[in-house]
Structure 1
């Protein structure tokens, strides 16, 4: 069984592509992902599961490290919540995206870093401890910064309730992470054994979310596919490039530079998709940028990790 989970973890990007293919051919196959069950939003429930698994891998030291390495953490978090949102808004304006795609793209920019960044950092031989800490800290402060920055950037164009978004992030992100941390604190040996299975479980959940969104918006994606796909690819590639430049100009070492670049480019796109569906429900296409970003960041990230790994040799 462990070998199966390791296989899923290793070939995650291929599984994503297969899920997308199935969703495009049989769009109703994953329709249930966007439904509700007994009043519970299934998409948000799946996201909570991913964040819970993240919590079981964290320890207090991941947050204490903020005070041990303030420079790197401060630079990483500042870039995460300043550069990524502004980059998203700039691209949306440059390509004259409609309100729905703009909202979705901005959410991709304002959400915290994604957990996949830790895996890619490890594969690319970056600073894994720094990556984990940046992901943890950016996630914990996201209930405040994500709604606030989103409001500042698009609040005058698109109506939404930042307080409700704050509550959503607490429910989807903070509570599951806290429960995961508690489980890890009480049963560290058990959580250590879970580490062999949780990345693959998270991968499967992310695939389901992507397939659900892609399937539900199949026609709309085809009608505007080239533009939004181009924008998503640019958003990722520019973020990676800017991350390398920031790390270099800040005087960081090679491992730290790699980490900052990866952490900046990898977003919690699943969370952006969930927030878009919940808070921009009248804008169906708002979920599309997050789903496409998730596909691209994992595909491109695997290639980048391979190249950077070889660069070390």
Structure 2
């Protein structure tokens, strides 16, 4: 009976992992109908932002799935890793800033969109890459490397893009990213190193847990900013969709021009388009508290990238893959 229950749970978790955008859509609907239900996500507990704790849970889970070999891949596959990370921190920020300027977004939405562009790749990219039959090992390594160097690059690039017009402290942002990202990942890595068998069992459940936590974060942001989102929804949705598809197309272009095979091209495109939108939302809440709408682009980007990504994964699998 116990083994049967475990198998049933694994099937449920696998289903949720594959269709995790449904969980996010359900959370969004609840947040719109009952906006106060997720207010606690945007509040503080004992002086700590709840959203930062939730994000730490996701990144701790990510850490338990990583191994040293994911970082060693930098030396084994330098060309692909270098191209992927360079595109991540050069193209995505420029895309975000260009779109914000093109649409003449206000300060808050500009900050939010730029942060979506300057944060590292998200863990969802690994799931989508798997579903799209891309190069999962490359995806995991790109996510790991871009995440580890994010405390340095995210504040610097954000400062270069908006520092002249919107004041913030890049050193404080560096400290926040270390606390929110590096420490949880390091703890997860340590747990995986000491108890690999235990962490291997966790892999069946962690993607689903991450999906649920991301859904809660998204719902919290949308619930608090419901009226503002509704009043500016068309513009916000337009820039989010545009940012996503430009990133996807440029990812393919980078892969194609550098002579990569299809699996790697798919992986670079997905990695570039999929951002750690939860981190962008957290940074917006922590470092731009007066600009409440700055949290909105990250939340909506999370909804869109997971929804569109699931569809694109099906398209890639059916029409744009080869046997390699």
TM-score (normalizing by structure 2): 0.96
Distance in 1 separating the partners of 2:95 and 2:221: 24
Distance in 2 separating the partners of 1:41 and 1:201: 20
Distance in 2 separating the partners of 1:108 and 1:303: 21
Task: Report deviation, 1:4.
Answer: 2.7
Distance in 1 separating the partners of 2:130 and 2:11: 20
Partner residue, 1:25? 33
Distance in 2 separating the partners of 1:200 and 1:243: 27
Partner residue, 1:95? 103
Q: Is 1:42 the equivalent of 2:42?
A: no
Partner residue, 1:108? 116
Partner residue, 1:85? 93
Task: Report deviation, 1:26.
Answer: 0.5
DSSP-derived class of the 2:36 partner: coil
Partner residue, 1:220? 228
Task: Report deviation, 1:229.
Answer: 0.5
Partner residue, 2:135? 127
187, 212, 218: which one aligns with 1:210 = 218
Task: Report deviation, 1:39.
Answer: 1.4
Q: How many residues are aligned here?
A: 313
* 2:19–2:310 contact (8 Å) kept in structure 1: no
288, 298, 304: which one aligns with 1:296 = 304
59, 64, 68: which one aligns with 1:56 = 64
Task: Report deviation, 1:37.
Answer: 1.1
Q: Is 1:73 the equivalent of 2:81?
A: yes
Per-residue CA deviations over 1:160-211 (Å, capped at 9, x if unaligned) read: 0000000000000000000000000000000000000000000000000000
DSSP-derived class of the 1:30 partner: helix
Q: Is 1:282 the equivalent of 2:294?
A: no
Distance in 1 separating the partners of 2:252 and 2:163: 31
Task: Report deviation, 1:237.
Answer: 0.5
Task: Report deviation, 1:36.
Answer: 1.0
Distance in 2 separating the partners of 1:15 and 1:142: 28
DSSP-derived class of the 1:306 partner: helix
- RMSD value, Cα: 0.7
Per-residue CA deviations over 1:264-298 (Å, capped at 9, x if unaligned) read: 00000000000000000000000000000000000
Distance in 1 separating the partners of 2:254 and 2:150: 22
- Structure 2: gaps spanning 5 or more residues: 1-8
DSSP-derived class of the 1:281 partner: coil
- Structure 1: gaps spanning 5 or more residues: none
